[in-house]
Amino acid sequence: MSPALFLVLAACLIVGALGVVLLSSPVRSALSLVVTLFFMAVVFLLLDAQLVAALQVVVYAGAIMVLFLFVIMLLNLQADPPAMARLGVRVTAAFGASLFLLAVVRFLTRGGGTMTDPRGMATPLPEGFGSTQGLAELLFTRFLFAFEITSILLVVAIIGAVVLAKKKLT
Amino acid sequence: MTVVPLSWYLTLGAVLFTIGVLGVLVRRNVIVVFMSIELMLNAVNLVFVALSRHLHTMDGQVTVFFVMTVAAAEAAVGLAIIIAVFRNRETVNVDELTVLRW
Amino acid sequence: MWIDVLIAVIKSLLVIVLALNLAGLLGWVERKGSALIQDRIGANRANIFGFAGAGLVNTLMADPLKFIAKEDVIPAGVDRVLHTLAPCVTLFPALVAFAAIPFGDVLEVGGRVITLQAVPLSVGILYVLAMLSLGVYGVVLAGWASNNRFSLLGGIRGSAQMISYELAMGLALVAAVVSYGTLDLQEMVRAQGRLLGGWLPAWGILYQPVGFLIFLWAGMAESKRVPFDLPEGESELISGYFTEYSGIKYLMFFMTDFVEIGVVAGLITTLFFGGWQVPYLMRDGFHFPGGTMVALPQLVVVLLQMASYTVKLALFCWLQVLIRWSMPRYRYDQVMRLGWKGLLPIGLLNVLVTGAVVLALQG
């Protein structure tokens, strides 16, 4: 994709992420996250990951965030003050986070190693990259064990969630 | 039309991750803290997909698949815990949920 | 390059005009159809200089004008942004879901092969499923942002029902994907052009009869049509999750109902009844099983295919209207029981049997 399009998408993503963190009403925070997840799916599409983009919308934006909204609605949460920590905590957190960001960006863009891999972003991709068939082949051959373990994890999570959220029958 | 270099994607992922970390540290509503954790997971997904594109291998996309699944499971269980805590303590303010008993 | 953009814009305009007109006409079909079923006349008073057009003037002109001219009431104490956002968030995914449904084969114009699908997607089915799962947001937001206990109850019921039946729909779609071997909707329709035994068109209903029934039922529950309209529950919840809406916003919720009828009907024709396929019609004319061939110009073939798609779409919209006015409403616990204990196990069994049969036929 062109750098201009990337910058536009990056700006939208950052605005959405800031919306999650800065908006005081939890419902608006959740909606801001949904918008961010959408733009993330667009970025995935432009990175030739079609199935992952579709899954992002179906699973993340379509199911997980609905769950969040449900819980916010059920608990009838308003924007209870205080929405954020007191000033000292905020300043320290911002300072620490910026140091962290600087260090990470410095590390990630230092060049050499993976960054100068001959395959790279500019070279064309092999046929069927990002397609469902390619992902499925990998998933059911090399990653089969992880796939089966994940299904067990999901069953455990379902049972756990139902047991935890049930009303106790007194 | 030039191509977007990998470092831009990694920087964007780092920025989103940091915003998520800020959310976890600064917000007092435990559900918004959860949403910030989801934001961090998404930033990591972006890095995986970008690297997958860079290295021409689909391993990164398979990893994103698993990260999404685990995030769904974690969100379900975490929100169930929040509901149970809310039933007992009547609050979702992180500052008030500081002791394990009572 | 600009020609490609122009072609894409024309196709998208065609699809969206189809969707919006379908929504409007379905309102008329609903009123006159219900009148027919209930042995009464229905709306026929509004007229322009005596021309009433069997209720068309009433439903297509008078009603929308009435809705547009009404005062837009926003109740006190609501989040205004969310209250205004909810109808838009409901209508948008329903309309956009039409983009992946093909309405014809290919059109060869000036050396270009244009596939008659608004957006040719390789993951078409996943896209439609994604848009249908986004429809839940509108219900949740409308219920929440109304500052009204009944609306909240209707919103919670509606969204719980929608996410439950998404599973059954998804499983019916998975079985269809397994039997066709592709996620692309255009490829699925093309695969239904084969002839079994030399004379029977291989439409999806022959491969997936159970899948068709599951999808029809789950699709009606997803769009909250009667018999699943308890979230709207006229006799219990006033108007359910859109009680506090008036004017154009109410019209948008209503339109979503009709557009979703169209989406479910479109998916049923595409997956199970051959989409734009006319039996024995290939790209260059009719190839009857006896061996006779009728050659036709390409434009006639394309128009026949588009007409076939439209006719089938209309038939399944009428089927849903018929079901609405023939059945009483399910109780809420019955709805949930049907979704989780009825359609979900049947759907899983369907996927298992389909997979076993496909494996047996391949290996």
The residue ranking higher by pLDDT, A146 or C43, is A146
Summary mean pLDDT of chain B: 89
Residue C181 predicted with pLDDT over 80:
yes
How many structural domains does chain C have?
1
Instruction: For residue range A82-108, list pLDDT tens digits in order.
Output: 677 778 888 888 899 899 888 888 888
Q: Is residue A37 part of a domain?
A: yes
Q: Is residue C99 part of a domain?
A: yes
Q: Min CA distance, B27 vs chain A (Å)? A: 5
Is residue C316 a contact partner of residue C29, using CB atoms and an 8 Å limit?
A: no
pLDDT reported for residue A53: 92
Residues of A with Cβ-Cβ distance to C183 under 8 angstroms: 132
Residue A118 predicted with pLDDT over 90:
no
Q: Which residue of A has its CA nearest to B38?
A: A33
- Give the model's confidence band at B55: pLDDT under 50 very low, under 70 low, under 90 confident, else very high: confident
Find, among C284, C97, A153, C154, the residue nearest to B68 by Cα: A153
Find which of A12-16, B98-102, C235-239, C287-291 is predicted with most confidence, using mean pLDDT. Answer: A12-16
- Give the model's confidence band at A18: pLDDT under 50 very low, under 70 low, under 90 confident, else very high: very high
What is the spatial order of strands in the sheet that C293-295 belongs to? Answer: C281-282, C285-287, C293-295
Chains C/B: 3 or more C-beta pairs closer than 8 A?
no
**Over C118-179, what HEC string results?**
CCCCCCHHHHHHHHHHHHHHHHHHHHHCCCCHHHHHHHHHHHHHHHHHHHHHHHHHHHHHHH
Sign of CA dihedral C65, C70, C75, C76: positive
Q: Is C349 in the A-facing interface, judged by CB distances under 8 Å?
A: no
Of A51, A81, A111, the residue at which a domain comes to its end is A81
Which of A30, A90, A122 is facing B3, going by the closest CB pair? A122
Residue C120 predicted with pLDDT over 70:
yes
H-run or E-run covering A151: helix A144-165
pLDDT reported for residue C68: 87
Q: Which of A12, A164, A166 to mutate to test the interface with B (most CBs of B within 10 A)?
A: A164
What is the span of the domain harbouring residue A35?
A: 1-81
**How many CB atoms are closer than 10 A to CB A68?**
23
- Cα(C317)–Cα(C210) distance, rounded to whole angstroms? 20
Q: What is the dihedral of CA A17, A21, A26, A29, to 10 degrees?
A: -10
Residues of C with Cβ-Cβ distance to A31 under 8 angstroms: 82, 85, 141
Share of chain C above pLDDT 90, in %: 25
pLDDT reported for residue C235: 56
Pairing of strands C285-287, C200-201: unpaired
Instruction: For residue range C230-277, list pLDDT tens digits in order.
Output: 666 655 656 677 778 888 888 888 888 899 999 999 999 999 998 888
Instruction: For residue range C188-235, list pLDDT tens digits in order.
Output: 998 888 888 777 888 888 889 999 999 999 998 888 776 777 666 655
Residue A160 predicted with pLDDT over 90:
yes
Q: Within its chain, how far is the Cα of C17 from the centroid?
A: 15
Residue B18 predicted with pLDDT over 90:
yes
When mean pLDDT is compared across C2-11, C45-54, C243-252, the lowest value belongs to: C45-54
Q: Give the contacts of B91 (CB within 8 A, at least 6 positions apart).
A: B97
The residue ranking higher by pLDDT, B57 or C288, is B57
Q: Within its chain, how far is the Cα of B21 from the centroid?
A: 9
How many structural domains does chain A have?
2
Chains A/B: 3 or more C-beta pairs closer than 8 A?
yes
What is the span of the domain harbouring residue C93?
A: 73-362
Phi, psi of A131 (to 5 degrees): -85, 165
When mean pLDDT is compared across C37-46, C185-194, C307-316, the lowest value belongs to: C37-46
Listing DSSP states for A28-78 in one string gives: HHHHHHHHHHHHHHHHHHHTT-HHHHHHIIIIIIIIIHHHHHHHHHHTT--
Contact A50 C79 (CB under 8 A): no
Residue B83 predicted with pLDDT over 70:
yes
DSSP 8-state assignment for residue C223 = T
Residue B76 predicted with pLDDT over 90:
yes
Q: Is residue A56 part of a domain?
A: yes
Q: Min CA distance, B102 vs chain A (Å)? A: 17
Summary mean pLDDT of chain C: 86
The predicted model gives B70-89 an average pLDDT of 91
Contact A14 B19 (CB under 8 A): yes
Is residue C329 a contact partner of residue C231, using CB atoms and an 8 Å limit?
A: no
Q: Is C348 in the A-facing interface, judged by CB distances under 8 Å?
A: no
Q: What ipTM goes with this model?
A: 0.92
pLDDT reported for residue A157: 95
End-to-end alpha carbon distance in chain C: 45
- Cα(C280)–Cα(C275) distance, rounded to whole angstroms? 14
When mean pLDDT is compared across B17-31, C194-208, C248-262, C347-361, the lowest value belongs to: C194-208
Share of chain A above pLDDT 70, in %: 91
pLDDT reported for residue A74: 80
Residues of C with Cβ-Cβ distance to A60 under 8 angstroms: none
The predicted model gives B12-17 an average pLDDT of 94
Contact C133 A73 (CB under 8 A): no
- Cα(C332)–Cα(C254) distance, rounded to whole angstroms? 21
Task: Name the one residue in this structure whose structure tokens are 């006033």.
Answer: C238
Q: Is residue C36 part of a domain?
A: no
pLDDT reported for residue C170: 92
The predicted model gives C122-147 an average pLDDT of 88
User: Could you tell me the CATH number of the domain that includes residue A9?
Assistant: 1.20.120.1200
Find, among C220, C240, C222, the residue nearest to C232 by Cα: C240
Neighbouring subunits of B (3+ Cβ pairs under 8 A): A
Domain positions in chain B are 7-89
Residue A31 predicted with pLDDT over 60:
yes
Q: Which of A101, A119, A135, A162 to mutate to test the interface with B (most CBs of B within 10 A)?
A: A101
Task: Name the one residue in this structure whose structure tokens are 């244009």.
Answer: C114
Of A63, A81, A99, the residue at which a domain comes to its end is A81
When mean pLDDT is compared across A26-30, C26-30, C94-98, C149-153, the lowest value belongs to: C149-153
Burial class (CB in 10 A: 0-12, 13-18, 19+), A168: exposed
Residue B1 predicted with pLDDT over 60:
no
Residues of B with Cβ-Cβ distance to A109 under 8 angstroms: 7, 10-11
pLDDT reported for residue A21: 92
Q: Is A66 in the C-facing interface, judged by CB distances under 8 Å?
A: yes
- Give the model's confidence band at C110: pLDDT under 50 very low, under 70 low, under 90 confident, else very high: confident
- Give the model's confidence band at B68: pLDDT under 50 very low, under 70 low, under 90 confident, else very high: very high
Q: Is residue A122 part of a domain?
A: no
pLDDT reported for residue A141: 92
Instruction: For residue range A128-138, list pLDDT tens digits in order.
Output: 787 888 888 88
Q: Is residue A92 part of a domain?
A: no
Q: Is residue C347 part of a domain?
A: yes
Please state which CATH number belongs to domain B7-89. Answer: 1.10.287.3510
Which of C122, C136, C163 is facing A131, going by the closest CB pair? C122
Q: Which residue of B has its CA nearest to A103?
A: B14
The predicted model gives A24-50 an average pLDDT of 92
Instruction: For residue range C76-87, list pLDDT tens digits in order.
Output: 888 888 888 899
DSSP 8-state assignment for residue A167 = P
Contact B23 A158 (CB under 8 A): no
Residue A35 predicted with pLDDT over 90:
yes
pLDDT reported for residue C335: 87
Share of chain C above pLDDT 70, in %: 96
